[in-house]
Amino acid sequence: MKNLTPRQYQILEALRDFLNKKGYPPTVRDIQRACGISSTSVVDYNLKVLERMGYLRRDREVSRGIDIGERERRTATVRVPVAGYIAAGEPIPVPTPDTWHLEASAEALEVAEEMIKGREEVFALKVKGTSMVDAYINDGDVVLMQAAATANDGDMVAAWLKKENEVTLKRIYREGGRIRLQPANIQMSPLYLDPDEVEVQGRVIGVLRWLD
Amino acid sequence: MKNLTPRQYQILEALRDFLNKKGYPPTVRDIQRACGISSTSVVDYNLKVLERMGYLRRDREVSRGIDIGERERRTATVRVPVAGYIAAGEPIPVPTPDTWHLEASAEALEVAEEMIKGREEVFALKVKGTSMVDAYINDGDVVLMQAAATANDGDMVAAWLKKENEVTLKRIYREGGRIRLQPANIQMSPLYLDPDEVEVQGRVIGVLRWLD
DNA sequence: CCTCCAATCGAACGTGTGTTCTGTTAATGA
DNA sequence: TCATTAACAGAACACACGTTCGATTGGAGG
């Protein structure tokens, strides 16, 4: 996304503040006052820029006719079930459609919408052990996954290596009749395997780490 | 709560509809049109009644100054300013109270409350380069920091090494008159330094990583 | 019959508010 | 050096919009 100028950011902040506090959008002059701008035309000018950039929607000739996207107004957070642990020596516990909504008792995680970006069937796994360090993932980290049996070239996936009896997180590439698994750590060498030796268990969306 | 007359119910419905559709509240005349009422004063009259009954809040003399209480703003999510980049060769740009809500952060990040846990003065930095790999942090990751000039033993901190002219992320321990900086990677050896060679720039709260 | 009052209507008033127009300034590039 | 453009200032315009006021209607209660 494009960078905002300080003024644009300032106006967006003022907009959100006003909306939060009052419950309805500000007028051009409300924004002008909040930002210490000396002319309404400056506000109008920047609002037009922000609209062109997609940060908001305006209705012309309408007082307070500013609409910040739904995304920003509502709870931008999603509950993600924690399906279990991910470790080197065992396949990851991918939730099935049956178990998917039975997660009431199980653990869940509150994740910002920004992390998920509207994806469905997302779950989380806690990393056990240090076998993922070549993906810069440490013991105790949380991995966000999307259930998927297939993946596109370049996707970071959880791959079950049947022969080695081991799960690993690597970027996947199809090359000729083989599959290349590329570690995030570029100093490490890729793995070349036959398609029937690898089973994609899910796509890796992101990584979360807490430090206390 | 008391029963609504058909007219009041009708007006409330029109209000919600408009708000959902447009993103901002309607004017008196918008409601009038939507309800097929022939006078604005009728709308005004009924809005006053509804306000007295607590169904909404109005700001007088303000166009579209209607606030339905329904928009509950439970912030299970927190906006965190992105202060800039963190790289090996330069100190991190810690926001000062002046720049906190201003130009320094042209960007912001939506983060789940769970990540912050109520902490104040939290900001984010984008990692540039691979100098933090010994903390399992890769190029492009986002580090959540809490502004702090001091730290407790065991805290993960952003430490500015004056002699080396370099910032690093390590756990800090005071041992005797010296300071031990312990990499997250236990295979790497700790650094021992004099207190005046180290400047704590902030505490590391967490790490975020997106994979696309 | 009457009064009382909630609910509505139509019109008018004053100002809040989006918009536009004319300039000015600073930065950029040919 | 001049032309171009983004960003801003100040003033003015037109009308959208909240408010108010007088009048009417219809029902409830005496």
Residue A134 has, within 13 A of its CA and on its CB side, a CA count of 17
A73, pLDDT greater than 60: no
- Mean pLDDT of the residues in chain A: 76
When the pLDDT of each residue in chain B is averaged and rounded to a whole number, the result is 77
| Predicted complex ipTM | 0.54
Q: Let me know the angle formed at the C-alpha of B109 by A55 and B169, rounded to the nearest 5 degrees.
A: 150
Q: What is the pTM of this model?
A: 0.59
Give A38's strand partners: none
**CATH 2.10.109.10 domain span(s) along chain A:** 77-208
Q: Where in chain B is the domain with CATH 1.10.10.10?
A: 6-68
Q: Has residue A11 got a pLDDT over 70?
A: yes
Fold annotation for A6-72:
Arc Repressor Mutant, subunit A (1.10.10)
Instruction: Compute the average pLDDT of residues A22-49.
Output: 89
Helix or strand run (H / E) with residue B12: helix B6-22
The secondary structure of chain B in percent helix, strand, coil, rounded to multiples of 5, reads 25, 35, 45
What CATH number does the domain located at A77-208 have? 2.10.109.10
Question: Looking at domain B6-68, which of 3.40.50.460, 3.40.50.1820, 1.10.10.10, 3.30.365.10 is its CATH number?
Answer: 1.10.10.10
- Residue A58: CB less than 7 A from any atom in strand C: yes
Amino acid letter for position A43: V
- Top pLDDT among B27 and A20 is at B27
**Nearest-CA distance B195 → chain A (Å):** 23
pLDDT in tens, B37-87: 888 999 999 888 888 777 788 888 889 988 876 543 344 566 677 666 776
3-state SS, residue A55: coil
Has B170 been annotated as catalytic?
Answer: yes
Q: Which residues in chain A have their CB less than 8 angstroms from residue B74's CB?
A: 75
- Smallest Cα distance from A99 to chain B, Å: 25
Give the model confidence (pLDDT) of A131-172 as tens digits: 677 778 888 788 888 887 778 888 888 888 888 777 888 888
pLDDT tens digits for range B101-124: 443 334 556 676 667 666 777 887
* Residue matched to tokens 């099935």: A96
DSSP A60: T
Is the minimum distance from the CB of A24 to strand D below 7 Å?
no
Answer whether A75 sits within 8 Å of B77, measured CB to CB.
yes
The better pLDDT of the pair B41, A88 is held by B41
